[in-house]
Amino acid sequence: MAENVTPRVRAPREASVGEVVSVRTLISHPMESGMRRDGDGNVIPRSIINRFVCTFNGEVVVDVTMEPSIATNPYFQFEAKVMESGTFNFTWYDDDGSVYEDSSDITVS
């Protein structure tokens, strides 16, 4: 199981109605591909985050299915259109069943 998985998100705190805002996320995770071998020649089992979802006030901004070709410490940048104040929720799903969450509030005026 991946240890010390720390999500970080960056989204603006304020925006105007209808503004397209840039959102960035970074999470510490080894993204073990399942292709590597350890010192004894045994395959290191795959252990990746396989899905990432960002919602705003419960509706999807982006939903990403991830394969082992995503680099260690997965990084995403994308844009959301905000019509009202609310909350971005960010969820990462690990192969091992763990779910990591973060959120960010935005005031839209």
Partner 1 sequence: MSLTRREFVGTSLTSAAAFAAFPSMSFAATADEAIAAYTGGAATSDAGITLIAPEIAENGNTVQIEVSAPGAEEIIMFAAGNPNPNVATFKFGPMSGSQAATTRIRLAGEQDVIAIAKMPDGSFLKAVSNVKVTIGGCGG
Partner 2 sequence: MTGQTKRAVAAMALLAFSASSLALWADEDADLVVNGEIEMIVRTEAPAHLDGALRTIYSGWVFRQDDTQAMQMDDFDNPGMLFAEQGQELFNTAMGANGESCASCHANAEDLTRVRATYPKWDEAHGAVQTVEMQVQECQTESMGMAEAWGQNSQEMLNMTAYIASIGRGQVIDVAIDGPAQATWEAGKEIYYTRYGQLELSCANCHEQNYGNYIRADHLSQGQINGFPTYRLKNARLNGTHNRFRGCIRDTRGETFAIGSDEFIALELYVASRGNGLTVEGPSVRN
List of residues contacting partner 2 (CB under 8 A): 4, 6, 8, 10, 24, 26-28, 30, 71-73, 75
Q: Which is nearer to partner 1, 77 or 107 (CB)?
A: 77
CB of 8 to partner 1, least distance (A): 14
CB of 62 to partner 1, least distance (A): 6
Tokens read off for 88: 């971005």
Say how far apart CA 103 and CA 76 lie, in whole Å: 15
Q: Which does 89 bind (CB under 5 to 8 A by kind): partner 1, partner 2, none?
A: none
Among 60, 58, 35, 59, CA closest to 47: 35
List 51's β-bridge partners, or say none. Answer: 65, 93
Q: How many other CB atoms sit within 10 Å of the CB of residue 103? A: 13
Say how far apart CA 11 and CA 76 lie, in whole Å: 12
CB of 24 to partner 1, least distance (A): 8
Q: Which does 64 bind (CB under 5 to 8 A by kind): partner 1, partner 2, none?
A: partner 1
